[in-house]
Amino acid sequence: MGSQLLPIEMLSSGVWADVAEVQGESGWVSRMAELGLRAGSRLKILQPGSPCLLEVGGSRLSLRSNLAVQILVRPVV
């Protein structure tokens, strides 16, 4: 995987990744940033699929797959 950008829905359970970009409508991007999901943050995939369960900054966040594809990450090797 390395430095390749992937949507979080492509990652498996237990994988850590650094957020490279959050795409979408500005209000949604701002809301994700408020929840700690922004470029430069690190997350862990707790449960892939729909909904996708993430750990971000000590909190858990659940996203539907249509939103998860808007978050591009670099898996941590």
In tens, the pLDDT along 50-60 reads 899 999 989 99
Which CATH number belongs to the domain containing residue 36 in this structure?
A: 2.30.30.90
Q: Is residue 31 one of the residues assigned to a domain?
A: yes
pLDDT of 68 above 70:
yes
In tens, the pLDDT along 10-45 reads 999 999 999 999 999 999 999 999 999 999 999 999
- Core vs surface per residue 45-72: b (16+ CB within 10 A) or e: beebeeebebebeeeebebeeebbbbbb
Give the pLDDT of residue 55: 96
Q: Is residue 69 one of the residues assigned to a domain?
A: yes
Reported confidence tier of residue 3, pLDDT bands at 50, 70, 90: low
Structural domain span for residue 22: 6-75
Give the pLDDT of residue 1: 46
How many domains in the chain?
1
Instruction: Look up residue 22 and give its two tokens.
Output: 């959050």
Q: Is residue 1 one of the residues assigned to a domain?
A: no
